[in-house]
Amino acid sequence: MREILGRRRRLLSRRKGGQSELISAALTFATQWQWPVLPGVAPDPQGRARCACPDPECTVPGAHPFDPGLLAATTDARLVRWWWTNRPGAPVIMATGGKAPCAVSLPALAASRALALLDRRGMRLGPVIAAPARWALLVKPYSMEQLGELLYAKDFVPGSLRFHGEGGYVALPPSQTGQGAVRWERAPLPGSASPWVPDVEAVVDAVVDALTRTGVSAPEL
C-alpha cells in the first residue's frame, strides 16, 4: 500500500510541476516580454492525437485557441494566472503580430537542415520553437503589405513555408499538444527583458536559400 501511495504522490508531484511550469512560462511571456497569450484547446482526453474542439478534422489538435478566441490574448497577469489556475494543462498560445513577434514556420526536417546551414554561415537567429511536425522561427512584427512585397520580389518561395503574422498564432513551450511536446530548439537568453528577433526579410531570404540548397523544399506540410 505504501508503495502505491508513494507512486501516486510522485505522479501528482510531476503533474503539479508541469502545471506550475506552464503558468510560470505564460506569466513570463505576458508580463516580462509583453507577448499576448491565451490558453489553447487541450488535446482530447479520449485520444491525445485528437483535439477537444468540435472540429473532428482539426489539423492542429490541442494547439490552437477556441474558447476564449484569439482576440482575448492578453498580457494582464491577473487574467493569465486565472486562466491557468482553472485550466492548468492548457497549451500556451501567443497571438502573433502587433507588438508581439511574428513567425515563419516550416516542416521539422527542412527546418533542422536549414538551421544547420545557417549556423555554418554564422547567421544570427532569434528563438526557434520546435513542435513534432513544424518548427517556427520568431521574427520582428511585419505587415501583410510588407510580407506581400517580400514574397512578390522572389522568383520562388517553397509552399512548405507558412507565415504567422497579424491575426495568427503559435503554441509556445512547454505546451503539450495532440502532436506532442512543444520545446525551444533555440531558447531565448535567460533573464532577457524581451528576446531579440531578426527581421522577416533576413529570415525568409536565408531560409529559402537554405531549403533550395539542401533540396528539402518540396513537402508542403
Of 139-143, 197-201, 208-212, which gets the smallest average pLDDT? 208-212
Residues 59-96 have pLDDT tens digits of 888 788 888 999 999 999 999 999 999 999 899 999 99
- Global pTM reads 0.85
Kindly tell me if the per-residue pLDDT of 42 is higher than 80: no
Q: Which residues fall within 8 angstroms of residue 210, CB to CB, at 6 or more apart?
A: 113, 114, 117, 118
CB 105, CB 162: distance < 8 Å: yes
User: Which of the pair, 208 or 44, is modelled with greater confidence?
Assistant: 208
CA distance 123 to 145: 26
CB of 153 closer than 8 Å to CB of 204 = no
What is the per-residue DSSP string for 59-74? SSTTSS--SS-GGG-B
Q: Taking 60 as the threshold, does the pLDDT of residue 50 lie above it?
A: yes
Instruction: Round to whole Å and give the CA distance between 186 and 183.
Output: 9
The Cα 211–Cα 216 span in angstroms is 6
Check whether 3 has a pLDDT greater than 80: no
